């Protein structure tokens, strides 16, 4: 939705264009829906697919100029890694002249006491982010603010969280998500899985994308899976191979584990008809 700033007098818009940084000018143009927001200084940009901020090495200074032209802007669209150490390297020149427009964001060692917007530098645009991975290294993480997650990443469809969710995670996600999920992974203890409201859980599965994968209990054994008594896996159908089902499913025990899927309506009817023919 265009900002009211686009209705400012021509002279004021010219002054605004002179005072802002290249990153700010470009974002104003995008927000306004037209470059005319800053009439005399239309912000141009060059695009880079290079991973400027890497997982282990941090900022890749080989790809960052030692000096910048006043109006120079680089837009980076590769995977964006950020942790507390990497964030410290974001100088004013980087904040002013590099705009990150990732589709995938990997957060490395933040505390969930921070909001997601606080974890990201101000020159990271989250409008196109569909995948977020939160990798914990130093403490046990618990996420309880799903409103912040889905507000910060409004197009999010994939979330990989190295930590625990509250017992209300199903209703929290259903009330906060903007789009159906394609993938969700978190640390779900047996006790939490055992206490699930099965009807609520089935509603959650049906609200996600047709090939949605919920991956939990990565290190569970077959014997442990058999101890679950809440009827969850009686409502789902075992997938016969190690391959990923093309339907909504729950993955237990990691890549070598088992999948239990929710048959789509047409497949359910096929199953019923097959049984009737026997």
Q: Report DSSP letters for 211-237, one per residue.
A: T-EEEE-TT--HHHHHT--SSHHHHSE
Instruction: Tell how many helices (H) and how many strands (E) occur in the chain.
Output: 12, 14
Q: What is the DSSP letter of 33?
A: T
Considering the domain boundaries, does residue 113 fall inside one?
A: yes
- Domain end marker among 187, 216, 245: 187
Report pLDDT for 72.
92
Do 61 and 162 share a structural domain? yes
Whether the CB-CB separation of 70 and 97 falls below 8 Å is answered with no
DSSP-assigned letters across all residues of 183-218: EEEEE--HHHHHT--HHHHHHHHHTS-TT-EEEE-T
Do 175 and 76 share a structural domain? yes
Range of the domain at 19: 1-43
Do 248 and 117 share a structural domain? no
Do 60 and 34 share a structural domain? no
Do 70 and 168 share a structural domain? yes
Do 56 and 180 share a structural domain? yes
- Looking up tokens 């309880």 gives 144
Report pLDDT for 165.
87
Q: For residue 140, what are the contacts with CB-CB under 8 A and spacing of at least 6?
A: 163, 164
d(CA 1, CA 128): 16
Whole-prediction pTM value?
0.84
Angstrom distances, CA of residue 185 to CA of 64, 69, 109, 212, 218 = 34, 43, 17, 11, 9
Considering the domain boundaries, does residue 203 fall inside one?
A: no
Helical pair 169-176 and 198-206, crossing angle rounded to 10 deg: 30
Report pLDDT for 275.
47
Q: Which of 71, 64, 15 is nearest to 45 (CA)?
A: 71
Do 119 and 22 share a structural domain? no
Do 31 and 49 share a structural domain? no
Do 79 and 8 share a structural domain? no
Report pLDDT for 272.
41
Do 66 and 128 share a structural domain? yes
- Count: domains in the chain: 3
User: Tens digits of per-residue pLDDT, 4-54?
Assistant: 666 777 777 777 777 889 999 888 888 777 777 776 777 888 888 777 776
Token output for 89: 């390297």
Report pLDDT for 212.
97
Do 225 and 101 share a structural domain? no
Residue numbers in the chain where pLDDT is lower than 70:
1-6, 39, 54-58, 136-142, 218-222, 266-278
Residue spans of alpha helices (H) in the chain: 10-19, 22-32, 84-88, 92-97, 116-119, 146-152, 169-176, 190-194, 198-206, 222-226, 232-235, 265-277
Do 163 and 120 share a structural domain? yes
């Amino acid at each position: 939705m265009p900002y009211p700033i686009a209705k400012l007098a021509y002279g004021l818009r010219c002054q605004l264009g002179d005072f802002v940084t290249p990153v700010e000018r470009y974002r104003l143009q995008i927000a306004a829906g037209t470059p005319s927001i800053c009439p005399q200084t239309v912000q141009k940009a060059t695009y880079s697919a290079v991973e400027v901020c890497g997982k282990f090495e941090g900022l890749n200074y080989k790809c960052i100029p030692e000096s910048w032209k006043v109006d120079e802007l680089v837009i980076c669209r590769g995977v964006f890694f950020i942790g507390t150490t990497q964030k410290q390297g974001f100088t004013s020149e980087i904040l002013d002249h590099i705009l990150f427009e990732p589709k995938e964001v990997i957060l490395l060692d933040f505390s969930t006491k921070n909001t997601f917007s606080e974890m990201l530098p101000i020159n990271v645009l989250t409008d196109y982010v569909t995948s977020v991975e939160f990798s914990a290294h130093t403490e046990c993480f618990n996420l309880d603010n799903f409103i912040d997650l889905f507000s910060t990443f409004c197009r999010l469809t994939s979330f990989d969280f190295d930590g625990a969710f509250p017992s209300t995670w199903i209703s929290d996600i259903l009330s906060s998500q903007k789009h159906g999920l394609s993938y969700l992974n978190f640390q779900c203890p047996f006790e939490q899985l055992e206490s699930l409201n099965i009807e609520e859980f089935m509603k959650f599965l049906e609200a996600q994308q047709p090939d949605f994968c919920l991956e939990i209990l990565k290190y569970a054994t077959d014997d442990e899976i058999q101890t679950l008594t809440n009827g969850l896996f009686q409502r789902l159908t075992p997938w016969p191979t190690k391959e990923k089902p093309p339907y909504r499913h729950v993955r237990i025990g990691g890549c070598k584990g088992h999948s239990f899927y929710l048959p789509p309506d047409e497949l359910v009817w096929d199953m019923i008809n097959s049984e009737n023919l026997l």
